[in-house]
Amino acid sequence: MKQVVCVGAGGIGNWLLRGLTPMLEHRAPGSVLMIIDGDTFEEKNRERQDFSEFGEKATVRAAMLQPMYPQTIVIARPAWVVQSMPDGLAEDEADGFIAVKDVCVEGGLVLVAVDNNATRKLVLDEAKTKDDIDVIMGGNDDGFYGDYVHYRRRSGVEIIEDPQEFHPDLANPGDRNPAELSCEERQKLPSGTQLVATNMGVAAFMLARAHQVLFEEDPGTEASEVRFDLRLGRSAPYDRAPQKT
């Protein structure tokens, strides 16, 4: 039985979950998969995302997957990830948030498929407080370029180093957590122009790494971060060695 959390059910998460759920169903029956996303499916998402109805992304995605994969426990959390639960919320309002400590659980795998660096930092910082955890994050730009990074801890030790050490945009995000925005501010955010092929490419790389984490004793550290360009047909591990001066 495996514990997997997927943060984001949209552009990348949409395709990632399509491959992840049958993998859990047949390789690890009885596993728990939690899908977290505070956003909703809208007409503008149809070009890059596959969904059966409008509504909360986490809820719609879980409702699509659970009947097909009954041996996997699929949990929908239509919520934004926050450091801690905001004070003074009514019970129905609290359902729209999930504390990051409930995302990063001991012995679990967290897949982060969102394009928000503030959320990524929350997850990485919380993961650093755990003894045993894996975090795999994937992203892409508006073209054919994409990447993923993997962070791992075992017995309280970093087996794969924190990507914030190599990426200033993760250590000091220039964006804001969607949970901090009003509904009006979230509506004004760009809807994204990523290509479906690149979204699927990132999902495939993340899925391959997740397979290694879940079903291989040691996935190795050599390809803990990979960058690819579909236009050029190339992919390569990112060199995290310190720069010589």
Query: Mind listing the pLDDT tens digit for each residue in 129-142?
Result: 999 999 999 998 77
Closest CA to 18 of 61, 52, 70: 61
Is the distance from CB of 14 to CB of 51 less than 8 angstroms?
A: yes
Long-range CB contact pairs, 238-242, < 8 A, 24+: 238/147, 238/149, 238/166, 240/161, 240/166
CA distances in angstroms from 171 to 36, 112, 124, 240, listed in the order given: 23, 16, 10, 15
Alpha helices, H only, 42-195: 57-65, 91-94, 117-127, 168-171, 183-188
What pLDDT, on the 0 to 100 scale, is given for residue 109? 98
DSSP state of 242: P
Going from N- to C-terminal start, the domains of the chain cover 3-237
- How many CB atoms sit inside 10 A of residue 172's CB? 10
Task: Report the sign of the C-alpha dihedral through residues 39, 133, 20, 67, in that order.
Answer: negative
Strand pairing category for 234-237 and 225-229: antiparallel
List pLDDT tens digits, range 181-240: 766 665 656 655 678 899 999 999 999 999 999 999 888 888 899 999 999 999 999 877
Rounded CA-CA distance 9/57 in Å is 6
The phi-psi region of residue 190 (left if phi > 0; otherwise alpha if psi is between -120 and 50; otherwise beta) is: beta
Per-residue pLDDT tens for 100-120? 999 999 999 999 999 899 999
Using pLDDT thresholds of 50, 70 and 90, give the confidence band for residue 244. Answer: very low
pTM: 0.91
Bridge partners of residue 16, in order along the sequence: none
pLDDT for 171 beyond 70 = yes
Question: What CATH architecture is 3-237?
Answer: 3-Layer(aba) Sandwich (3.40)
100 to 30, 83, 105, 126, 226: CA distances (angstroms): 24, 6, 9, 7, 26
